[in-house]
Chains A and B, each alone.
Chain A
Amino acid sequence: AQKITQTQPGMFVQEKEAVTLDCTYDTSDPSYGLFWYKQPSSGEMIFLIYQGSYDQQNATEGRYSLNFQKARKSANLVISASQLGDSAMYFCAMRGDSNYQLIWGAGTKLIIKP
């Protein structure tokens, strides 16, 4: 069975600091994809970044990067130079080849302090 674990229910970070949100996963699929989404208080889920299991390099999208460690089955999200607008819930999700639904973690509530 596939599973996503986010061990940090909440985090407080000072503005302009970098922040790492943890995500570990479990799957028996040889090929899979890992996603990070941001959900502000408005409720809309915003796609941030994607990492394929066979990608050689860690994915980056602007201030977001994904620290992918396949052997450890971890896919941590790194946000550089955090901003007040980064305050939101962050979800890690996985899609395997055995089915196409996204499996979600419980989320991490990130609060950026001015």
Chain B
Amino acid sequence: KAGVTQTPRYLIKTRGQQVTLSCSPISGHRSVSWYQQTPGQGLQFLFEYFSETQRNKGNFPGRFSGRQFSNSRSEMNVSTLELGDSALYLCASSWRGSEGSYEQYFGPGTRLTVT
């Protein structure tokens, strides 16, 4: 089974620009979560989508948004980029069963650098 894929792997953008990151989950997985990882703040939850609906949202400004398509692929958008948005953005998918373990499987991440 193919793993979680994220594109692009690396991105360099300028302050004020916007960026769109893409994530394709493992086949059959309906939940996609996004995380931001920085040396200073560690791993922080951005949002989670399940069946095209945002179910959970972390404490990030409205510049961060996302969506999920009917095939479970998800995109994350950051508008008006700031230097502090430089980070590794990780996408994770899970089956999201109703009980028990539903471990999240992560993609390789997109490393975003804002200059």
Contacts and interface: CB of A to CB of B under 8 A. Distances in A.
Interface of A: 33, 35, 37, 42-47, 50, 52, 91, 93, 99-107
Interface string B84-104: 000010101000100011011
Interface of B: 33, 35, 42-45, 48, 55-56, 58, 88, 90, 92, 96, 100-101, 103-109, 111
A47 to B, nearest CB: 5
B43 A91 contact: yes
Nearest to B88: A43
A99 B33 CA distance: 13
Contact of A104 (B43, B88, B108, B111): B43
A103 B59 CA distance: 13
Contacts of B45: 101-103
A101 B32 CA distance: 11
Contact of B103 (A50, A91, A99, A106): A50
Nearest to B57: A101
Nearest to A106: B42
